[in-house]
A = this chain, B = another copy of it.
Amino acid sequence: MSKPAYITDQDILKKITPADAIRITKQAFVDYEAKRNKMPEKIYLDLPEYNGDFRAMPAYVPRYNIAGIKWVNSHKENPALGLPSVMATLLINNPKTGELIAMMDATALTCLRTGAVGAIATELLTKIENPNIAFIGCGKQAEYQLKCIQEVKKINHINVYDRSNNQSEIFAKNIKHNLGELRIRESVKAACQTANIIITTTPGTKAIVMKDDIPERCLIIAIGADAEGKQELDHSIIMDATLIVDDITQASHSGELNTAITLKKIKRNNISATLGDLLSGKKITDNNRIVVDSTGLAIQDLALAGFYLSKV
């Protein structure tokens, strides 16, 4: 077999804008809700000896006539080694024959499609014109959340908190904020208290955001928890919020809701809707507090990859 095309992060960033990522991700959620995509449950290769894991995420996306798999790691100690925590590769195949069509760096793709979810949640679930946003965790994911949300809202004010002050400063430097004011805060509470939207992108297994830290009314977009045992929000926040997820099964097993469900603080049927439901027209009753649990779906990755291939 001849060597298949290898597509780099730079190739992806040249061809897929945040606006593209939002549009294609919406389409993928709607297609998934309508059962037009296939996505078996992802599996984990746990390597506690390295404080890390790998995930295998296969999917079939007929809209772009591709099947494939994302293979992605999560290694908490990487930033100290000068490496991203999360790095990903995609293999893309012809679904009819199984032939390999392309191999792809999927690190940038993962940032884009995760950022797109933040933007979609913001568009669907906040009526405020110029929201204040708090970022808890200031790594690459936070940067892409901001890039994508700027596509759908003009942001008034940004507060950021990271346990590493250095990381907060890198974030502040990296983003081009023709978007009002940005302040680095010393605590979660100081970052969150005036926020309309709170975006959490931390990798821990213990709640970092407490009920006292946040305003009565806010939209929380929880990105960080993506494996069993991971958690960012105190259960008391989840217990009286309207709960929106990207995928019910995945959120229950490995998303922000997983520990609350395991400990029976909430049940799966406390989940109000998926993003696909909302995009397909489902309405939810108004609530002061909404939590969006984004776990990351292989159909998002494959759809963006298919979009890329359709453009080149």
Residues of A in contact with B (beta carbons under 8 Å apart): 1, 3, 6, 8-9, 38, 40-47, 50, 52, 54, 56, 58-60, 67, 69, 71, 73-75, 78, 81, 83, 86-87, 89, 91, 93, 95-100, 103, 105, 107
Residues in chain B near residue A98, CB distance under 8 A: 52, 54, 73-75, 78, 83, 86-87
State whether A56 touches B54 (Cβ < 8 A). Answer: no
Which secondary structure dominates where chain A touches chain B?
strand
Residues in chain B near residue A83, CB distance under 8 A: 97-99
The residue of chain B having its C-beta at the shortest distance from the C-beta of A59 within the complex is B45
6 pairs, CB–CB < 8 Å, chain A vs chain B = A1-B105, A6-B6, A38-B45, A52-B96, A71-B71, A75-B96
17 A-B pairs besides A38-B46, A54-B58 with CB distance below 8 A are A1-B8, A1-B9, A6-B103, A40-B43, A43-B43, A45-B67, A47-B95, A50-B96, A50-B97, A52-B98, A56-B58, A69-B69, A71-B71, A71-B91, A75-B97, A83-B98, A83-B99
The residue of chain B having its C-beta at the shortest distance from the C-beta of A51 within the complex is B96
Residues in chain B near residue A9, CB distance under 8 A: 1
Per the bound structure, the CA–CA distance linking A6 and B75 in Å amounts to 24
The residue of chain B having its C-beta at the shortest distance from the C-beta of A52 within the complex is B98
Residues in chain B near residue A50, CB distance under 8 A: 95-97
A85 to chain B, nearest CB (A): 8
